[in-house]
DNA sequence: CGGAATCCGGATGGATACTG
DNA sequence: CAGTATCCATCCGGATTCCG
């Protein structure tokens, strides 16, 4: 497979670099760290990565002891999980994220990278059912501006403790509607802009029963990367 | 030049990853951070990197605002220096080094990566003239075991505040001789093994006047990566 | 010495199609 | 759904060359 020579350096940085300087590898680790376990989860979180390359990377990472691959008990496919060594890579990713936030001309929120599917998928993984009416379904509509109409509406469906993203109205009554420019919600998600500020400036609109509006900040959690980045946002 | 697509992610990790997931790039940054400024310094520290690729990387990094390139005042060539953004990358490298030290089956000191030239070059950059007799030259011979004879002897020449590596006896009287297996000195340098321990076990031999032997641990500084890694070694 | 340009074969990555 | 297979563009390593 890889006939590639190593860097020929005894310095430990080079060991990690040999692992991480292949394309997409850090992002695969990120996805796993943030909770993806299935091949299709990974594909969803890394839409621009080709399937062939993903499966190649998974094999390499397994071979390098970064992840384990086990046949899924429930049905088909495999479950991928980081090993201890794999989870230990996270501080590296964290410092990469921190560097980019402070030193990269912040075009990570430039138009071409804003992606509502990706954002919703990331949000879904961090959402908690806390503060959501139990034992009944609850629907939140996200309505994005700055996005082609066909990809501008997403429904988050809370049901039986499960959370699902729908691209079409799931039919139940909508309990809360969230309206914002895709960039606004992305910036909030990344911790660049405090939620309250966006609300106060009417750049993010919450519509629904008062209790549902107030509950929003309890179940809508920011990206793990946002923590410690910006003014705190979580409900008191 | 690079027509390569981005990762299409708004997550800041991906911004840093786009920069760092090209081959050799983290090590070029490491070299600059550790004090190299000239093209030939970089080549010396990265002997397995091709010249063409190095000059390509330097251009890319300059373009990305990681380093600046200025014509050298003194004579020919250019001086490469990290920008603030470039220096800010160091925590990433540091966590990479830390990860490898603790989670990579420590074959970074496996035989094929042990390299006396590289080691001497690294050592030289960290050596201080402190504790060295002033206003006269002072010569230290490093004698490596486990290395082909032709590359087994290096002389460190202290003269006029300058420090030079020689591959042949510079002719002056040798003030101190250091003898060890290449692996031993590499492990000491990386902080895997305390200097005192190696001395006590007679795995590192210091020969010379008592004062010169005692001075050794004052001017021989460990790799920056060793700091906080292992039992401290520096003289009290 | 300090770099940059070129050429070439092999390795890697991206796109798409295909299979169980 | 969970991956493979295939083809082509790009990247990388090594050697050589060139220039100032």
The string of pLDDT tens digits covering residues B173-210 is 999 999 999 999 999 999 999 999 999 999 999 999 99
Q: So what's the pLDDT on residue B225?
A: 87
Burial tier of A70 (Cβ tally within 10 Å: 0-12, 13-18, 19+): exposed
Q: pLDDT averaged over chain B?
A: 89
Residue found under tokens 């138009």: A111
Q: Mark yes or no for CB contact B7/A27 under 8 Å.
A: yes
The answer to whether residues B227 and B126 touch, using CB atoms and an 8 Å cutoff, is no
Cβ contacts of residue A90 below 8 Å, gap of 6+? Answer: A29, A33
* Positive or negative: CA dihedral B200, B206, B209, B215: negative
Which nt has its C1' nearest the CA of A71? D2
By Cβ distance, the residue of B9, B20, B89 closest to A118 is B9
Cα separation, B197 vs A127, whole angstroms: 53
Chain B, 81 to 120: residues with Cβ < 8 Å from chain A are 84-85, 88-89, 91-104, 107-109, 112-115, 118-119
Nearest Cα to Cα of residue B82 among B64, B63, B68: B68
Residue found under tokens 């006396």: B116
Average pLDDT over residues B116-143: 88
Nucleotides of C under 7 A from a protein CB: 1-7, 10-17, 20
Cα separation, B218 vs A67, whole angstroms: 43
Superfamily for domain range A111-219: SCP2 sterol-binding domain (3.30.1050.10)
Architecture of the domain made up of B12-103: Orthogonal Bundle (1.10)
Token pair belonging to A119: 């954002």
Q: So what's the pLDDT on residue B160?
A: 82
CA of A142 to C1' of C19 (A): 37
Q: Torsion over CA of A80, A229, B12 and A187, rounded to 10 degrees?
A: 110
Low-confidence residues in chain A, pLDDT < 70: 1-3, 105-108, 135, 227-236
Cα→Cα distances B63→B59, B69, B188, Å? 6, 10, 37
More confident residue, A113 or B139: B139
The answer to whether residues B206 and B197 touch, using CB atoms and an 8 Å cutoff, is no
Q: Chain B residue with minimal CA distance to A192?
A: B12
Percent of chain B at pLDDT > 70 equals 92
Nearest Cα to Cα of residue B233 among B184, B198, B206: B198
Element (DSSP H or E) covering residue A143? strand A138-145
CA distance A193 to chain B (A): 15
Percentage helix, strand, coil for chain A under 3-state DSSP, each rounded to 5? 45, 20, 40
Confidence of residue B235 (pLDDT cuts 50, 70, 90): very low
The protein residue nearest C2 (Cα–C1') is: B77
Q: Matching CATH topology for B12-103 and B111-219?
A: no
Cα separation, A95 vs A97, whole angstroms: 5
Q: So what's the pLDDT on residue A231?
A: 40
Q: If DSSP codes are grouped into helix, strand and coil, which group holds residue B78?
A: strand
Q: Is the CB of A18 under 7 A from strand C?
A: no
The string of pLDDT tens digits covering residues B26-63 is 999 999 999 999 999 999 999 999 999 999 999 999 99
What backbone phi and psi angles, to 5 degrees, belong to A84? -60, -45
Chain B residues whose beta carbon lies within 8 Å of the beta carbon of residue A49: 7
Q: So what's the pLDDT on residue B6?
A: 87
So where are chain B's domains?
Answer: 12-103, 111-219
Residue found under tokens 């405090």: A194
More confident residue, A131 or B153: B153
Check pLDDT > 70 for residue B229: no
Token pair belonging to A18: 């040999």
Q: If DSSP codes are grouped into helix, strand and coil, which group holds residue A90?
A: helix
Q: Which residues of A201-230 are buried (b: 16+ CB within 10 A; e: fewer)?
A: eebbebebeeebbebbbebbbbbbbbeebb
Cα→Cα distances B99→A91, B34, B86, B96, B170, Å? 9, 19, 21, 5, 40
Q: So what's the pLDDT on residue A4?
A: 75
Q: Rg (Cα) of chain B, in Å, rounded?
A: 20
* Other Cβ atoms closer than 10 A to A156: 24
The protein residue nearest C16 (Cα–C1') is: A50
Q: Which residues of B104-123 are buried (b: 16+ CB within 10 A; e: fewer)?
A: beeebbeeebbbbebbbbbb
A103: left (phi over 0), alpha (psi -120 to 50) or beta: alpha
Confidence of residue B226 (pLDDT cuts 50, 70, 90): confident
The string of pLDDT tens digits covering residues B69-82 is 999 887 788 999 99
Chain A, 179 to 208: residues with Cβ < 8 Å from chain B are 186, 190
């Amino acid at each position: 497979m890889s006939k590639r020579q190593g860097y020929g350096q005894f310095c430990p940085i080079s060991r990690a670099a040999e692992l991480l300087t292949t394309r997409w590898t850090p992002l695969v680790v990120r996805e796993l760290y943030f909770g993806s376990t299935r091949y299709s989860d990974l594909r969803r979180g890394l839409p621009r990565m080709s399937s062939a390359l993903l499966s190649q990377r998974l094999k390499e990472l397994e071979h390098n002891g970064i992840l384990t691959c086990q046949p899924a008990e429930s049905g088909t496919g495999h479950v991928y999980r980081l090993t201890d060594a794999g989870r230990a890579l996270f501080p590296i990713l964290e410092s990469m994220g921190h560097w980019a936030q402070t030193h990269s001309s912040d075009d990570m929120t430039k138009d071409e990278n804003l992606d509502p599917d990706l954002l919703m998928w990331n949000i879904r993984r961090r959402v908690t059912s806390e503060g959501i009416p139990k034992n009944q379904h609850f629907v939140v509509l996200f309505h994005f501006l700055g996005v082609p109409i066909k990809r501008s509406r997403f429904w988050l469906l809370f049901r039986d403790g499960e959370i699902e993203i729908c691209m079409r109205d799931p039919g139940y009554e909508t309990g809360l509607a969230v309206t914002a420019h895709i960039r606004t919600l992305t910036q909030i998600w990344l911790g660049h802009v405090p939620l309250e500020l966006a609300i106060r400036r009417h750049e993010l609109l919450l519509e629904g029963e008062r209790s549902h509006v107030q509950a929003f900040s309890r179940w809508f959690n920011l990206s793990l990367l946002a923590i410690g980045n910006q003014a705190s946002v979580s409900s008191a």
